[in-house]
Amino acid sequence: MAVSSEILATAGQTVVDTTLTLPTSVNDFLVFVNNVLADTVTYTRTSESDITFTTPLNLNDKIRTLVPFTNPTSCSTNIVFPDSPTLSELRIKVRQEMKVDRNGRIWDNSTVDDAINLAILTVQKASNFGWQVNDACQTIQSVAGQETYSLDENSQGIKLVEYEKDTIFTTQKLEIEALNKTLPSWTPRFYYIYNWALGLSPIPTTSNQEITIFYQKFLVPLSDDSDTLPFQSDFTKTVVLYASYDLFAQTSDAKNIQRASVKKDRYKEELNTIRLAYLIPDSNQVRYKTVYTSPSRRWTTRRGIAGRLIN
């Protein structure tokens, strides 16, 4: 997974101890100076944790270093980030970011929580559900004579399906119906998605064969105060800024509308930084076409927040 560090430079400083273990190549990590991505020709990696700039830094220049992860390739359990804030802590951070209504007289906790969950959803959508935490897999067993199998209710899109460790191919239900008339029932070679279920063709004739579904999932909304942000701690600022934007934008007050605009712009800047760090293409990672399980599905909370998304 990715880790990050942030320091403030002293006047004339050139060597920066990032406190991170840096990859050997400067192309495998990112450095930002005052939130602007630095060109790799402006610095070199001079030790395991140090970078040296070719031009001296100014007083209080903010140096942020990000070491990205590579996407997982195997079926794994949900990832937990112990350093990420809880819902209760996020709520405090949002009120601190807004600098108004810290006692919750305008926006109660329930409203702030909805804004936080909307922010988490928006960040997921910003990557087309492509963050590491959106990767999931489901293993089920075949049943002889059974064509369709239920999918995880939080599935957003299917990336890959394996039958007994062999990749099978996607097609459409109508094509499957034609195939089932011509192919003998045997080991499945194709799959389709219909009515929130996975269909196989040919229909399995053997039970207890392993079917592995790699997919992208919706993250479950936070509800309890102890629930933690389902992203790395680096995402905290992005979520807080969007939640602040959403809360300000809900009012008709001119000052709050102006504040919302500022928060929205800062959110987009922070999101771009996170995208660069966490969505770097891995040339060794095989990419598969995503088959969406329900293009029209809408994720909501009790306030129907899906209608308040921004790009």
pLDDT at 132: 82
Q: How far is CA 70 from the centre of its chain?
A: 13
Neighbours of 270 (CB within 10 A): 21
Distance CA 73, CA 57 (A): 40
113: part of which helix (H) or strand (E)? helix 109-126
Q: Does position 308 have pLDDT exceeding 80, yes or no?
A: no
Q: Residue 259 in contact with residue 253, Cβ under 8 Å?
A: no
Most confident of 21-25, 38-42, 206-210, 300-304: 206-210
Residue 101: partners with Cβ closer than 8 Å, 6 or more residues away? 95, 107
| Nearest CA-CA partner of 138 in 160, 166, 121, 170 | 160
Mean pLDDT of the region 76-90: 81
Q: Which of 173-187, 205-219, 251-265, 276-290 has the lowest mean pLDDT?
A: 276-290
- Tokens linked to 106: 């305008």
The continuous run of DSSP H or E covering 201 comes out as: strand 197-201
pLDDT in tens, 91-147: 999 999 999 887 888 899 999 999 999 999 999 999 989 888 898 889 999 999 999
Q: Which of 260, 309, 251 is closest to 119 using CA atoms?
A: 309
Residues 162 and 168: beta-carbon distance below 8 Å? yes
Helix/strand number for the chain, H first, E second: 5, 15
- Residue 185: per-residue pLDDT: 59
The residue with tokens 């959803």 is 121
Enter the tokens of residue 221: 């909304």
**138 sits in which H/E element:** strand 135-141
Q: What is the mean pLDDT of the chain?
A: 83
pLDDT the model gives residue 202: 86
Between CA 111 and CA 263 the distance in angstroms is 17
Q: Report d(CA 28, CA 23) in Å as an integer.
A: 6
Task: Give the sign of the dihedral formed by CA 116, CA 265, CA 122, CA 130.
Answer: negative
Predicted pLDDT of residue 285: 39
Instruction: Give the least confident one: 229-238, 253-262, 296-305.
Output: 296-305
Taking 60 as the threshold, does the pLDDT of residue 152 lie above it?
yes
